[in-house]
Structure 1
Amino acid sequence: MKFEVDRDVLAESVAWVARSLPTRPSIPILAGLMIHAEGESLTLSSFDYETSARVDLPATVHDEGTALVSGRLLADITRSLPHAGVSVDTAGTAMELTCGSAHFTLQLLPTDDYPVLPAMPTETGTVASDALAEAVSQVAVAAGRDELLPIFTGVRVEIDGETLSMLATDRYRMALKEISWTPARSDFRGNALVPAKVLSEAAKSMAGGESVSIALSQPGSGEGIIGFAGESHGTQRRITTRLLDGEFPKVRHLMEIQALLTVRCATSDLIDAAKRVALVAERNSPLRMVMGDGEVTLEAASGDHAHASEQIEALLDTAGDPMTAAGFNPQYLLDALGALDAAYVNFSFTQPGKPCLLTGVGSLDGDPLLDYRHVIMLMRLPD
């Protein structure tokens, strides 16, 4: 195998594929990155029996062939190369990489033992890449991080005709986003529980193209695989992953909150105030939101050592026995506010200790934007 390729394109492509490599591979061969040169393109790929990544990039191929090398080592090398053309040549059991005056020799790994990448399922539909990237970033923030509870580390993707919904929860917060997309069949209905980490990587890495193709092999949690394909910086990228097994909790009803108290304020003002006040918040202690007349006060303390408070203007509307204060996990509140794409935020409260719904609002007296909803479980306030 012998080819020449642009240094920047190679470095970016190798780095992207290498991100999917397992940190502790079950077998050493899975730490390898497959390189295939054919025609006028180069294909780089990785696979750990759960998630596969593949990128096709243009190259000048002199001799076609396939090689397998250490993925993380190749990523480190290509990232450090000088800005010059890259030439690669394999001979025997080694791969020679030359860029300017830099020269590297890498030992080849046996390709016979490497698993075959799963085939991309039939396309289910397409979605605008920027819309997908925004939606995933808004929802994935609520996904769990505990690998001992794998169901909560996923995002439930629901397909209902021309509506694509994404839902995530870690049991203490929930996020729901609904966007329009173009299904391959208008009558298609299905759902999949997708690892949030893979979904985020797919959406972010393909945001440079016009659209992303989504391919679901079999609808339903724990069945088959899901694939994403799109373009980025002149390269074609593809990710497939096995769906998570298990029944996602029924939490959609928690989004339907009949508010007894609503509070509205400028999103940016609240973010800035929450960041400042949270500096003195003791670990596992709430950031307190105290309701006032035309304002809310944010308070936090670290025992007797430090205390902070700040008032911001707010519009309050009471439909029942009003709450006087609510307790938020500071980071959960900041995550939710950061995910909102609106000038104002609307808080829907029911009772102390009950879930609180956050939605965006375009103007202070406008209707809530219900395409994105974020629920936070309130913390118990000390007496």
Structure 2
Amino acid sequence: MKFRIERDVLADAVTWVARGLPARPPVPVLAGVLLQADAEGTLTLSAFDYEVSAKVTVPADVAEPGTVLVLGRLLADISRNLPARPVDVALEGNKVQVTCGSSRFSLLRMPAEDYPTLPAAPESSGTIQGDVFTQAVSQVSIAADRGDTLPILTGVRMEIEGDKITLLATDRYRLAVRELSWQPNVPAGTTGSGSSHVALIPARTLSDTAKALGASGSVDMALGGSGGSGGSGGSGDGLIGFEAGQRRTTTRLLDGEYPKVTSIFPTSVDTVAVIETASFVEAVRRVALVAERNTPVRLRFTDGQLDIDAGTGDDAQASEAVEAVLTGPGVETAFNPHFLLDGLGALGAAYARLSFTQPSRPAVLTGQESADAEADTTYRYVLMPVRFAS
């Protein structure tokens, strides 16, 4: 195998496929990236850890076609730090020689014959706008559980009904829901369209994928069967695939029944407060500086004002006030400041709206473009209050 490729092209491609390589792979070859140089002038790079696969095809000047497996993270580090010149890669005996200008690296060839075959992606199901996909995933994935006590809560639940997608995630202390549109390949209502689908996708993988592919104009989504006994036995069962340009990735879905958490949304609202988002964020961030670990910030809503404070007794204390438009009776409650800031940061709106039933019940955070505009309910962030000593 022997080929020449532009430094930036190689660096981008290796970084893309190597981004999810395990730090401690159960099998040594899973730390590798597979390079396949084709006589037609393309280089395909692949990575797979039995859960997530990534593949990208880029142009290259191929002198000798062939296949080789090398350590992925090492190749990514090397390619990103090479000088801005063409890179020559050649297999010489048991070593892969990487040359760029006066820089020379010799990498150990790994046994490509032991590398697992990448899974076949499900058939394309439709497309979604790249920037919308990225924003929606980032808004929801912040609420997914980062621990391993309940693995099912580490996922984002994707429910598809016709041309509508609903993303949902929760860690039991907060819940995020985003509704958006996509373009299914088979129009909703068509006989046999299979327009309803539910998938539970690992949140971290989905977030990384959305960030990497979202810069594209559109992202192609491929839905497989639902893993476990719910699968249909066809190609791509238990997988979901995403593709943009020459980048393709699949991930294995989480198996299990996601808790029915939508009942947490209040059926009525007694108090609504509207606050300028930027001022709210800055005030909470400053007051939270004195909040000890797991200590909440207290919010007191009165007509025209929101008082924010933290700390009690002999501890450090802080307080700040911001303008608020209040509809309904005053409310005093408390939230985990980090969870509150996550939600405010995800809104993407000039004003934040907090809707309450009772101080002890979950509050719903939504965004709106002006103080007197209607709330944008395509994104809702539900926050559980924290008890505090009065």
User: Same fold by TM (over 0.5)?
Assistant: yes
Deviation by residue 1:262-321 (Cα, 9 ceiling, x = unmatched): 111101110011111111112111100011221010001165231111111101111xxx
Deviation by residue 1:197-236 (Cα, 9 ceiling, x = unmatched): 11111111012211001101114787510000013xxxx1
Question: Partner of 1:32 in structure 2?
Answer: 32
For residue 299 of structure 1, give the secondary structure of its aligned residue in structure 2: strand
Matched, 1:360 2:367: yes
Question: Partner of 1:9 in structure 2?
Answer: 9
Of residues 137-146 and 15-24 in structure 1, the stretch that sits farther from structure 2 once superposed is 15-24
TM-score between both structures, scaled by the size of structure 2: 0.94
For residue 143 of structure 2, give the secondary structure of its aligned residue in structure 1: coil
Question: Partner of 2:389 in structure 1?
Answer: 382
Matched, 1:280 2:295: no
Offset at residue 349 of structure 1 (A):
0.8
User: Alignment identity in percent?
Assistant: 50
Matched, 1:208 2:222: no
Offset at residue 147 of structure 1 (A):
2.5
Question: Partner of 1:332 in structure 2?
Answer: 339
Matched, 1:19 2:19: yes
- Separation in 2 of the partners of 1:305 and 1:169? 32
User: Do the aligned partners of 1:154 and 1:168 also contact (CA within 8 Å) in 2?
Assistant: yes
- Separation in 1 of the partners of 2:286 and 2:200? 37
Offset at residue 15 of structure 1 (A):
1.6
Deviation by residue 1:234-274 (Cα, 9 ceiling, x = unmatched): xx111101100111111122234411111111011100111
Aligned pairs (5 A) from 1:55-70: 55-70=56-71
Q: CA RMSD in A?
A: 1.4
User: Do the aligned partners of 1:263 and 1:314 also contact (CA within 8 Å) in 2?
Assistant: yes
User: Do the aligned partners of 2:123 and 2:223 also contact (CA within 8 Å) in 1?
Assistant: yes
For residue 74 of structure 1, give the secondary structure of its aligned residue in structure 2: helix
- Separation in 1 of the partners of 2:14 and 2:213? 15
Of residues 137-146 and 8-17 in structure 1, the stretch that sits farther from structure 2 once superposed is 8-17
Deviation by residue 1:123-159 (Cα, 9 ceiling, x = unmatched): 1110000000010011111111012321111000111
TM-score between both structures, scaled by the size of structure 1: 0.95
- Separation in 1 of the partners of 2:337 and 2:221? 35
Question: Partner of 2:234 in structure 1?
Answer: none
For residue 347 of structure 1, give the secondary structure of its aligned residue in structure 2: strand
Matched, 1:230 2:244: yes
- In structure 1, give the amino acid aligned to 2:96: M
- Separation in 1 of the partners of 2:384 and 2:312? 22
User: Structure 1 residue runs of 4+, over 4 Å off?
Assistant: 219-223
Aligned pairs (5 A) from 1:1-383: 1-38=1-38, 39-187=40-188, 188-219=195-226, 223=231, 224-231=238-245, 236-301=246-311, 303-318=313-328, 322-383=329-390
Deviation by residue 1:5-52 (Cα, 9 ceiling, x = unmatched): 110121122122111111111111111110011122111111011110
Q: Report the count of equivalent residues.
A: 376
For residue 124 of structure 1, give the secondary structure of its aligned residue in structure 2: strand
User: Do the aligned partners of 2:296 and 2:336 also contact (CA within 8 Å) in 1?
Assistant: yes
- In structure 2, give the amino acid aligned to 1:377: M
- In structure 1, give the amino acid aligned to 2:95: A
- In structure 2, give the amino acid aligned to 1:175: A
User: Do the aligned partners of 1:281 and 1:302 also contact (CA within 8 Å) in 2?
Assistant: no
Q: Which runs of 5+ in 1 are unaligned?
A: none
User: Do the aligned partners of 1:152 and 1:170 also contact (CA within 8 Å) in 2?
Assistant: yes
Q: Which runs of 5+ in 2 are unaligned?
A: 189-194, 232-237
